Structure 1
């Protein structure tokens, strides 16, 4: 070992890395796998809506009528509603309102105008992209607790990154590009774990930091609020970040300007603005405010501008655009762009997609390393902790992937149902928890192989269902300029092949691998039950 780092220091950081990784790994696998898919959220939404009648392109007059009709007929007083403005990429004006339910979750309401000018309240039942995004930022826990939990987990994730770097430093030059396949599977997993972790380290640092900041910023600021500032710290930070505190509701009704008038005011403030959304807060109140969000022709990483004004008279409260933003706002906007890959076009999206999958692999392989390091090579009887983590690793990781594939199938197969989103979410949770249960009632090697095969079949069914239910083929849709259908189907085929290959490799090792490995499939263990292990599907 290189003498620049003491052995005792390495051991300490190894312990820290191990326990922080174990504590956060499974949750981060879900966040990263879902996050990789979420990079293409707009394309996924287009896939999910393919074959469903879309709104025709609407003009600003229609936008005025739609917004007025929603405010007049729907219980949105005092709420925040969003008018998504018609564009070539997303034709048709439509209004969204997220109603907060008693359990902390949100119910989405969508409105658009029919051809005869009447309000259509049937809404958009497509929620697949939003649901996968929710898995990314709150693990599917439908309250603020899910977001806060993931924020804490990302803080732990940062500690795991730092400790992992310290562990790898002594052998950095010797091991950086070394992968040693062979009978020593622990060495193989360690080599690939190190390579993935080190090569993507800058991205992981950014992601851990930005995730914790976005999720639990209020808790990170609390010590400063209690010990340094007498007034509200957010009132100091908000202007620096380009955020304006909306006036408190007056309780006095007030009529707002038309959407067209508000957009005209925004364009005067930011010449060349291409508005994409108009967000009204405190609807119906004399202190209602409007935030106009639009794209500029700026070359900055985050080219969007925000114009906040009073809804009743158009008085400007703030203008935030790339060229004139403060240092704090520029930093914050850049952090958002880095986190959500909202720059660089499809090259950046594909890079983030690959890095997201690599991150999921990092946490999966980390748990496998822990199991490998604690297995008994000369005994069929393995430690309960090793077997428990092996089973849990299989159930959660494979269950997440299979559950998302099931959600794809449910959303496509039940597209005509009003409760489509309900069944889509039910498909995910049903498959996810069934996979965890299966991993604990079946022998681990056998159960893991079966879960991988089920995941492969569910994923392979996605393009089959597309061809069966849609009035076109993926390649015909691509020829007409709709590439999302073909792209999703091709990616599903590749993923299904990978899952099936992993199952085959796992089965081969279970039969012909080390008979005393925790991955081996023994007829019986010393306790009379089949000795089992976890998902080493990629071997």
Structure 2
């Protein structure tokens, strides 16, 4: 390959990586946690002793019938279309979602209905969106900024794919020689470059999956709108439900009719989908009407695209009562549903058990490290040798990289602690002040000093998570582990492991700052020289402290 072509790929890889690196770090760090989304509910919930309760107990069809009757009686609007998640080990209640007359989503649960909590404040979706697990998930795909953040992350995913392709083409000529070349020693820059390249090459399939599926999931509405105008003559939106669900959108008959028992409907779905199918949620259309439908959604074991659904006519006393209208589960669905399900499963790792999700967790954290180290390596590779004053843009990039990446880690730790100390407050109120405070701190300090200080703060924040959990709920780490409550103990163990990792990085950064090239932006100013510190950090000398 020509040298000019390689330089072009290197430039593309570098600048695309820099532009997308900060957002991708947050997405990967939060996404690694989101792999255990359901378990995070259990970790936060005060009544999380559900590990002692059999999972099948909450999915009692008779209980679903009772819940739907209570829901429609309290909220008649939900009869038109209601999504209901079935109870699990991690979620003890039925939870329903529906649109009100203004087009706003509402929610309720079996606990709220039994307690008579049916006011607009009780059914608002704001509390659900602000809950810790939902916020971490939102941080993963929108950076915590609704709607606009979703489209932004779609664009970032496209740039991410360009960086991957250009990186492969860049390293392809020397792939055989450098594949296992990780050279430790005094040249720390070379060591980190080798580690960055090896991690990137071996995790390439993992990253390609996220680049493609992330772009599709975040930009789906943009793609649909574009194809609707250019290729489908404005008819794509009408066909969209048939492409993504098993239930057609039908108009109500306007004639009341009793509903078939949920047990009968579940049995019809299992008979069609097979024994491997496990219902997780349902959607009722026109509950109590002669044209009522139920779409039973769930997972099929031993399938890549494991998520699917079965549509059944749900009204009793009708010619087609209990008849399966469509089966879009593994092995029985069309190509559109198969691709849609596979994209979802590949992105969130739902097609495997605990071992696969642990692989996704480790891969997500490794990916976050890849973006952090990539930015640091680029800044160091542009260092002017034997020049004390480094370019201002490099220093600002170093400070922003430290503030955004490490600030995200500290903010997530604060969100975990805040979810237990102030459970009624939206998780974003705990995350964003800490995140922006860390970013501001990084911009006011020399890059190396800020990195060391914030890494120690991240270590302290992560270590606080199990401590706050024990203090607020009495779920001591060793007690939860011995009792087999791994949804609780797992997060506490993970927080301690992250605390150790941040501490190791802080020590390594400090060693590099003291023993590395003195003119690097990652070098600490000379001890006792506040003027030099101010010059490096570009802040007034009165704000620079001796090291």
- After TM superposition, is the score higher than 0.5? yes
Distance 1:213 1:130 in 2: 21
Aligned mate of 1:176, from 153, 176, 179:
179
Aligned residue-pair number: 517
Aligned to 1:537: none
Q: Structure 1 pair 516/287, CA: closer, same or farther in 2 (3 Å)?
A: farther
2:525·2:533 contact (CA, 8 Å) conserved in 1? no
Aligned mate of 1:510, from 498, 510, 513:
513
Moved more, 378-387 or 123-132: 123-132
Secondary structure of the residue that 1:160 maps to in structure 2? helix
Aligned mate of 1:386, from 391, 394, 398:
394
Aligned mate of 1:451, from 430, 451, 454:
454
Q: Structure 1 pair 442/63, CA: closer, same or farther in 2 (3 Å)?
A: same
What do residues 327-379 of structure 1 show as CA deviations (whole Å, max 9, x unaligned)? 33223322222111112211111111111111111111121122112222212
Aligned mate of 1:370, from 378, 402, 405:
378
2:293·2:313 contact (CA, 8 Å) conserved in 1? yes
RMSD over aligned Cα, in angstroms?
3.3
Aligned to 1:279: 283
Matched ranges for 1:27-426 at <5 A:
27-51=23-47, 57-58=57-58, 59-74=60-75, 76-77=77-78, 80-87=81-88, 89-90=89-90, 92-97=92-97, 109-113=107-111, 118-119=115-116, 127-142=131-146, 144-221=147-224, 224-230=227-233, 232-233=235-236, 239=242, 244-247=247-250, 257=259, 259-260=262-263, 262-272=265-275, 273-281=277-285, 289-296=293-300, 298-309=301-312, 312=315, 316-415=324-423, 419-420=424-425, 422=426, 424-426=427-429
1:51·1:470 contact (CA, 8 Å) conserved in 2? no
Alignment pair present for 1:529 and 2:534: yes
What do residues 450-494 of structure 1 show as CA deviations (whole Å, max 9, x unaligned)? 111111111101111222233343222233221122221111111
Shift of 1:303: 3.8
Aligned to 2:543: none
Shift of 1:519: 0.7
Distance 1:525 1:53 in 2: 54
Moved more, 372-381 or 48-57: 48-57
Moved more, 462-471 or 26-35: 462-471
Distance 2:459 2:80 in 1: 44
2:411·2:432 contact (CA, 8 Å) conserved in 1? yes
Instruction: Provide structure 1 residue ranges, at least 5 long, that are not aligned to the other structure.
Output: 534-539
Shift of 1:263: 3.2
Whichever structure has more helix as a proportion of its residues is: 2
Shift of 1:434: 0.9
1:181·1:188 contact (CA, 8 Å) conserved in 2? yes
Distance 2:22 2:181 in 1: 26
2:307·2:341 contact (CA, 8 Å) conserved in 1? no
Distance 1:507 1:437 in 2: 21
Q: Structure 1 pair 85/233, CA: closer, same or farther in 2 (3 Å)?
A: closer
Instruction: Provide structure 2 residue ranges, at least 5 long, that are not aligned to the other structure.
Output: 539-547
Secondary structure of the residue that 1:521 maps to in structure 2? coil
TM-score (ref. length: structure 1):
0.86
Distance 1:119 1:259 in 2: 24
Shift of 1:236: 6.0
Shift of 1:527: 8.6
1:22·1:367 contact (CA, 8 Å) conserved in 2? yes
Distance 2:87 2:134 in 1: 20
Q: Structure 1 pair 66/173, CA: closer, same or farther in 2 (3 Å)?
A: same
